[in-house]
Structure 1
């Protein structure tokens, strides 16, 4: 039997937040590549890529009700927080928005990772 959250809305909300975060990270990464100081953004760009990928993976795991969903969501929360911290180092609007979305996703993933099974 797979891992089920305490209520379907916990997982549904987490999937929504992960998809939103995935999109925000991909858009921010693309925008960062166009910035004049792209060299200074290397770590941020790498973290954005990691964050987008872990969010996509988390959506897949939750959608198929994998027994590893909670562990993956815990890791996703950590990566989202790291990504938000990286984005907050830059003052561009796309970075600020991405950081907020990453923080929201991190909170949602924390809830999912600690949901009753």
Structure 2
């Protein structure tokens, strides 16, 4: 695996990268599927798009050992948490899956922010 080849990536960083990328995928799917659900899903779509962008950016910052990744981790965790809370309110399968996936990324991002 590519992540195992990154010298500076310990197990904690690898887990956070994996969780962020999985969260981004769930958010992108949810945002796309919400487009078919009507205008009442606008907030969910916006939050999913923000969360996906921040999660992928955070994963990229960790992969390149950016000095800013710990700062970004807190913002990423906040966005993912708000997105999960929004998705929990909707009964659509894509929203429920998103709400299930995001807490792992929130947890590992908070751990990264603490460094």
After TM superposition, where is structure 1 displaced by more than 2 Å over at least 4 residues in a row? none
Give the TM-score normalised by structure 2: 0.89
Query: What is the SS of the residue equivalent to 1:66?
Result: coil
Gaps of 5+ in 1: none
Give the TM-score normalised by structure 1: 0.88
Which residue is equivalent to 1:109? 109
RMSD over aligned Cα atoms: 1.3
CA deviation string 1:61-108 (max 9, x = no partner): 101100111110111000000000110110111101101111111011
Which residue is equivalent to 2:12? 10
- Cα distance in 1 for residues equivalent to 2:108 and 2:61: 15
Higher normalized contact order (CA 8 Å, seq sep 6+, divided by chain length): 1
